Amino acid sequence: MTSPSVTSTKPQAAAAAVRPALAALSTPGHDTGLLLLRLVLGLTMAAHGAQKLFGWFGGGGISGTGQFFTASGYPAGDAMAVLAGLTETLGGLGLALGLLTPLAGAAIVGTLINAIAVHGAGSFFAPKGIEYELLLTAGAAALALTGPGRYAVDRFLPVLRGHRLADGALAVALGVVLAVAMLLVRD
């Protein structure tokens, strides 16, 4: 029979043995790479959202983007423009900051699934292909699944400090389900 003190230290010893392995996965190079990916992908998507919402960077603004959504078969084109613009802007800024990363990544995934469906899969490569949208989708899903790394606002939120794969997978699944729901309202 083992004493309670010996039994209680076994889980602690096992946890201590796992910590170095986990720490090796989160190196400064790994975290810097995730930061670079988050900044480029997030700010790119935020700029796309600003095109839709404000007409910045040569965008159509709400009315121009709304006309595009209407022509693409979505009901209430202006409302869809606002929804897409907010999703891209807030999701992009969330990724760039590493704030609510699984949800921010899922928002981008959902938006880009719709972009791929509207754009069509006539070919893979630009100018009429889906390579750009697919790359952004994969990057956003990867960030949702891996977490933001050490250099992120999520590190200061107790509930998100220890990112779990299940959280990212659930968020990506939510993004896919909502994207499909939006596609179902198209004519």
Instruction: Give 50's contacts (C-beta < 8 A, 6+ positions apart).
Output: 56, 57, 59, 85, 89
Distance CA 15, CA 8 (A): 12
DSSP 14-72: HHHHHHHHHHHHS-HHHHHHHHHHHHHHHHHHHHHHHHHHH-GGG--HHHHHHHHHHHT
- State the pLDDT at residue 103: 96
- State the pLDDT at residue 24: 52
- State the pLDDT at residue 25: 65
- State the pLDDT at residue 26: 76
- State the pLDDT at residue 19: 46
- State the pLDDT at residue 12: 57
Spell out, as residue ranges, where the chain has pLDDT lower than 50. 1, 3-8, 15, 17-22
Specify the amino acid at residue 171.
A
